[in-house]
Structure 1
C-alpha cells in the first residue's frame, strides 16, 4: 500500500507533496482509498462533506469503531503526515482478519477531506463540517489563491456542495474514533508508539498591512508607506514575544501586491499560526503579536487589519478511551507507553467534541514534519499498525 501511494502528488523539484483539496493528486488519493476499500470487500461511501468511508459491518448498526486520518498534505509536505494513519488502518483490518477476529460492532476506516487546509485556508474542513464547527455557507465561499471557490472545486470533482453541513446521522453511528499519526516532534524518545493526552489550543489569524505602492528606486525612505517593513517587524516580534514563553507564533505564509521587485508594496497579507499549552497563553501570544504589528504599522504610516480565520480550543482526549489504548499497547509490547500532549491539530481533536476520540503516535526519529524530510522507520510503522490492530480488536471485537 505504501509503495502504491508514495508517488501520488509528489513534486519532483522539492521531493515534497502537493496533495491539496480537490486537485488532481487528491483525486488520485481518493481513488486509491476507494480501491483499497473495494478490494477488501468493505462497503464504500462518500458522505455529504466529501469524507470517504470503508465499512466492515453494517454502517447503520451504531456504536461503530472508526479509525483513519487524512491523505492531503501541506505544500511540499512529507509522506507520513496523514497517509500513515490511513495506510495503517487498512493494515490493521488485514491483521484482524489474519487473526480470525470478527467485529461485534461496525468497524470503519475514514479519510477526512482537506485536513491541512492548504488550498482554502481552513484546516480540518471535512471534520469541521461534519461536526458543525464550520458553517456550510462559509465553507462554500472559501477561495484558493487563484480565486476558485471551494464549492466550485468540489462540484468539478463530482460532489454536491449544496449538501455540506453538520452530519448528525453519521455522528450518532460512531462509538469511538482512534487516529494513528506520525509524531510531529521528538518526545517519544526510544518508544516506537505513544498515546496522545491532549491537543494544544491553536488558530490562524490573517494580518493585512495596507500601504501605498510606489517606485523602489525613487521614493525617499521618509516618503514611503511600506507595508513590507511593518510586516517584517511583526514577523520578528512573533519570534521574540514567544521565545521561551510556552507559546508558538509563526508567520508561514505571505501574499504581496503588486509583488514587483522594483515596487514598494501596496498590500502585504500574512497568516499567523499560533499555539500554546493553554488558552490564556495563546490569547496573550496573539495579543502581543497584534500590538507589535500595530506599533510597526503606525511607525511606517500603514494600516493593519487582523481577522481570525480558524480557532480550536484545547482538546483533552477521552480519558477512558485513552487509558484503554495505553493498556492495549502496554499488553502487546510489555513496555510502559508514553502519554503526551501535542501542539499539532488533527481531525481527532475536532471530532472529540461530538464522539469519544483518542490518538496513537508513531515515532519520528528527527522530529521534522510538514517537510519533505519527514520520516519514520519501517519497524516503528509496523509497530504502530500492530498496536492499532490490537486497539481495534479490543474495541470492536470483544
Structure 2
C-alpha cells in the first residue's frame, strides 16, 4: 500500500523482527515528520496540541469537526499495519474526496495520537488519555521507559512542555465525530471492511516479587527465597484464569539484576487482562493476584500489585454507527479485545471504528497483514463515511 511502503524502513527491528516505534523515540519522531510533510503537501494545516498529538486540518478548526486518524507507534517488534494503516488511509481518503470534487462543509481533521501502544512508557493511549483527562499530567510525566527516561523528559526533548499537558476541553468540544480506521486484530471479518461494536474491558497490572538475591551455585535450594518461582507460577495462573472468553496474558518479565548465574532479588511482570465487562475482568485479576500471593508466601517472598492502566467496556455510539451504515450499507459489526484511542474518546464524543480484514488473524507481531485490495476498500469506505458526515 502506497504510504505504508514509504515508511516501511522506519523503525525496523532487526533483533525482534517487525517494527519498534515508540512515543518520542527516533523512529516515531521520524514518522511524525513524515506525516507533517505529507499533510502539508495536501494543503492541510498541521497543528500539534499541547499533549503531543498532531492535528492536520482541512479547513479552519472549529465546532462539529469530523475527525479521523490513528497512531504511528507500535508495540516492540510489532506489525506493519497496526496504527499506520489508519493514518495512511486517512490521508488517502482526503485525496479521494478531493478527486471527487468534494469540499467539506464542516471542519475535517486527521489526528495522530502519541504513544497509543504504551510500548515505551507502559500506559496505552497516553495521548488520548491526556487529551480527555483520563490520566493526570503529573502522573504521565513521571512514567519512565526501560532506560529510566521519563515521559516528561522525552516530551520536553520533543518540544512539548509537560507542565502544560492535560485535559483539553477546547479540542474535545470541537469534535463532532471521530472515526478511526484500523486493521482487524483477529479473524472475525469475512468481508473487507467491518464496523466495531464494542471494546472489551481491559487493564494492565504490574506484579513485583521481592526475594533474596544470591549466588546460583553456592546457595542450596532449601535456603533460597527466589522471586522467579512465584513469578513463574503467576504466568501459569494467568492462563488458568482466562476462561469463558476472558483473556489474561503475561508478555513481559524483568528480573533484577538479570544475571545468568544470579538468583534474582526481585522480578517484575506485567499482566494484561481483558473480558466482556468490568466485573469479569476484575474477577480474573483477583484470581491471578490470589495465586501470586500464595506462590510468594510458599517461597518466602513478598509481592506488590499495582494497577497501571484501566479501561472499562466501550460501546460505540449507536447514532454514529447508524450514520456509518447510511454511508456504507449493512456492514458487519463485531466486538474487539484490543484497546484504541477511539475507545478513550468514546466517553466524550461520538466515536466509531472501521476494521480492515486481516486474513492471518495475527496482530502485534510481524505476521500482521491486510491485502492491498482490502486496504483500498478501507480507504473508499472511510472516504464515504467522512463525506457523509462532513457534508
Q: Give the TM-score range, shorter chain.
A: over 0.9
What is residue 101 of structure 1 aligned with on the other side?
A: 102
Matched position secondary structure for 1:129: helix
**Distance in 1 (alpha carbons) for counterparts of 2:390 and 2:8:** 30
Displacement of 1:314 in angstroms is 0.6
Counterparts of residues 1-398 of structure 1 (less than 5 Å): 1-59=3-61, 61-188=62-189, 190-242=190-242, 244-330=243-329, 336-397=330-391
1:376 to partner: Cα distance: 0.6
Alpha-carbon distance between aligned partners in 1 of 2:260 and 2:223, rounded to the nearest angstrom: 19
Q: Secondary structure at the match of 1:208?
A: strand
Q: Gapped runs of 5+ residues in structure 2?
A: none
CA displacement 1:105-153 (0-9 Å, x = unmatched): 0000000001001111110000000000010000111111111111111
Deviation digits for residues 297-328 of structure 1 (CA, Å, limit 9, x no counterpart): 11111000001000001111000101221332
**Aligned-partner Cα distance in 1 for 2:148–2:209:** 20
Q: What SS is found at the alignment partner of 1:7?
A: coil
SS for the counterpart of 1:8 is coil
Contact persistence 1:246–1:281 (CA under 8 A): no
Structure 2 SS opposite 1:255: strand
Q: The residue matched to 1:309 in structure 2 has which SS?
A: strand
Q: Which moved more, 1:125-134 or 1:213-222?
A: 213-222
Q: Deviations over 1:241-297 (max 9, x none)?
A: 21x322111111111111111111100000000000111110110000000001111
Contact 1:14 1:372 in 2 (8 A): no
For residues 41 and 279 of structure 1, the distance between their equivalents in structure 2, rounded to whole angstroms, comes to: 44
Q: CA deviation at 1:220?
A: 1.7
Q: Once superposed, which parts of structure 1, at least 4 consecutive aligned residues long, lie more than 6 Å away?
A: none
**Distance in 2, Cα, partners of 1:373 & 1:272:** 23
Superposition deviation, residue 218 in structure 1: 2.2
Q: CA RMSD in A?
A: 0.9
3-state SS of paired residue (2:219): coil
SS of the residue 1:260 aligns to:
coil
- Structure 1, unaligned stretches of length 5 or more? 331-335
Aligned pair count reads: 389
Q: Is the 8 A contact 2:16 2:76 kept in 1?
A: no
Using a 3 Å threshold, how does the CA distance of structure 1 residues 14 and 144 change in structure 2: closer, same or farther? closer
